[in-house]
Amino acid sequence: MSAYYATSLLTAITSLSLGIFVFLKNPKNKLHRSLFRLNMVVCIWSFFLFLHYASRTYSQAMLSLYILHSAVILIPACYIHLVSDLLNLKKTIQIKVSYLICMMFLPLVYTAYFIAGIEPKLIFRFYATAGPLYILWIITYTTIAGYGVFLLVKHYRNSSIIKKIQIRYVLCASFIGFIGGATIYPLFYDIPIPPFGEHIIFLYPVIFSIAVLKHDALELNIVVKRTIVYSVSIALITLTYLVIVLLLERFLRDIMGYQSLGVTVAAAVIIALIFSPLKNRVEVVIERFYIRNAYQRMQKELIESDKSKALAQLAAGLAHEIRNPLTAIKTFCEYLPKKYNDKAFRDDFSRIVNNETEKINSLIGRLLEFSRPASLKIAPCDVHEALDYTLNLLSAETLKFKINIIKHYDKENHTISADSVKLKHVFFNLIKNSIEALSGGGNITVSTRSAQDRFNIDITDNGCGIKEKNLGRIFEPFFSLKEQGTGLGLSVVQSIISEHNGAIWAKSAPGLGTTFTISLPMTN
């Protein structure tokens, strides 16, 4: 019996903590919201299942049974909603119809047609007996959930690799959830099979969360570990909470000689006051002893992977650049046998092939420069040259997204002491961000100005802008406003600028655009 208490409480805790975690991670993402919705319903179901098992009186058991069924009838609709969001399907009507059908069972839950009664069965003090209409609910549940599984299987083949992994996880979680849940029902019909499947249901929210967060390695490795640790800590705190409430209630009852709701409420208020500091303390301890090492390791790995991504983009840009000299060399070689005796051709051949080979060599040199590991190498650096170089690398993307580049360069001195390779990294990240803010086209303005011993660079776009509440956080590691972002680009930018004893800040007006300003010392 105690095993059933424990697993239903564990399911409630994992659903609650993972649901909240996934939601807070990206509240704007519809998939995250869907998982939150489903997890909350499952959390209510499993928590009241726990209370149902723990009930001492008939009325307590009936009340918890009604509440848990009010939640459980929403599970199939929430599941369809989640599947539809995962697969990016516009199944608005199907989702609404599912919710409507499920809600139709709500008034029935409180009647004997749905639950005929409760009685002792096997090891359970109270266990429900199905009413005549309960079978309708089981059929509906199976049909709607089956439709969800059908959609997942149907769209599996044509999905991207990441989506396929997500679908596999969701199918696995669905299997655990539905098979586990199905074992509850035989005993409703007095078939003496215990609801043993309940013991594995707690795994379902964990696997679902992994599926939703699967696109991001960071989330997968840190977050799941973190969530498990938090779940355990919240469970401990909840247990402490319950024990204190019971003890306090008994103490007050012994002293004051009566038991009332007021006593429980007062106890709850006292606990609520110490709950938050206690939770924070546990978080800090866990953060210190467990997470930090993992976090630092992941941060290092991700900075490397971010660098690899940037390098891949650079390589793509340079590959295009290499096609021009290759074209010339190829054409002149093609004509060599035909025009070998033509002296003018031979002169052109020698000049062109030589020049174009030099160009390829210089392009490869630039690529190697970018991939070089990074200790700061301060030397005279022409900022305009670095900016033009970066703009040229990103020209394929500015063309693709119909973005105009406007340059307002200071005509005075534009050579400063800096690491030109690292500075190009900074410009690359900032201009790439601007391009991403301008997916529908627009302008990027690059301005420079020297002022006494400082050199300032402004990179402005007239894109979607950044909300004020987010503006203060954009340089934080792992803070990202993009669905697929690692949140490292701007933190790396800031660290490079700091290495140069410079400063970087951003101004933004939502809907109007963003300006990043870099201020660097002329000499370092």
Partner 1 sequence: MRDNPAGTIGGPVMKKKILICDDEIGVRESLKLILSDKYDILFAEDGKKAIDEIKRNPDLKGILLDIKMPALNGFELLKYLKRHNENMPVVVVTGYQSVETAAESLKIGAANYITKPFRSETVIETLEQAIS
Is 385 a binding residue for partner 1 by CB under 8 A? The answer is no
Query: Which has the closest alpha carbon to 77: 13, 144, 126, 136?
Result: 144
Is 352 a binding residue for partner 1 by CB under 8 A? The answer is yes
Is 340 a binding residue for partner 1 by CB under 8 A? The answer is no
Q: Which of 88, 308, 327, 501 binds partner 1 (CB under 8 A)?
A: 327
CB atoms within 10 A of CB 43: 22
Query: Which has the closest alpha carbon to 220: 172, 166, 288?
Result: 166
Would you give the end-to-end CA distance of the chain in angstroms? 72
How many amino acids of this chain bind partner 1 (CB under 8 A)?
25
Q: Which of 271/328 has CB closer to partner 1? A: 328
Is 399 a binding residue for partner 1 by CB under 8 A? The answer is yes
Query: Which has the closest alpha carbon to 354: 337, 332, 322?
Result: 332
Q: Which of 262/441 has CB closer to partner 1? A: 441
What are the tokens at 336?
A: 């060599």
CB of 460 to partner 1, least distance (A): 21
CB of 357 to partner 1, least distance (A): 10
Q: Which of 219, 356, 419, 461 binds partner 1 (CB under 8 A)?
A: 356
Task: Give dist(CA 15, CA 43) in Å, integer.
Answer: 5
Q: Which of 183, 240, 395, 495 binds partner 1 (CB under 8 A)?
A: 395
Is 323 a binding residue for partner 1 by CB under 8 A? The answer is yes
Query: Rounded to the nearest 5 degrees, what angle is found at the Cα of 406, between the Cα atoms of 400 and 410?
Result: 145
- Contact partners, residue 489, CB within 8 Å, separation at least 6: 306, 429, 432, 433
Is 347 a binding residue for partner 1 by CB under 8 A? The answer is no
Cα–Cα separations (whole angstroms), residue 124 to 44, 199, 317, 380:
21, 15, 68, 80
Q: Which of 280, 331, 413, 498 binds partner 1 (CB under 8 A)?
A: 331
- Amino acid code (one letter) for 2: S
Task: Give dist(CA 209, CA 472) in Å, integer.
Answer: 28
Cα–Cα separations (whole angstroms), residue 459 to 253, 406, 422, 477, 519:
69, 10, 17, 21, 12
Q: Which of 132/441 has CB closer to partner 1? A: 441
Is 334 a binding residue for partner 1 by CB under 8 A? The answer is yes
- Contact partners, residue 390, CB within 8 Å, separation at least 6: 424, 427, 428, 431
Stretch that binds partner 1, among 84-92, 205-213, 350-358, 485-493 (CB under 8 A): 350-358
Q: Which of 395/450 has CB closer to partner 1? A: 395
Is 54 a binding residue for partner 1 by CB under 8 A? The answer is no
Q: Which of 88, 260, 324, 470 binds partner 1 (CB under 8 A)?
A: 324
Is 350 a binding residue for partner 1 by CB under 8 A? The answer is no
Is 359 a binding residue for partner 1 by CB under 8 A? The answer is yes
Interface residues with partner 1 (CB under 8 A) are 320-321, 323-332, 334-335, 345, 348, 352, 355-356, 359, 395-396, 399-400, 402
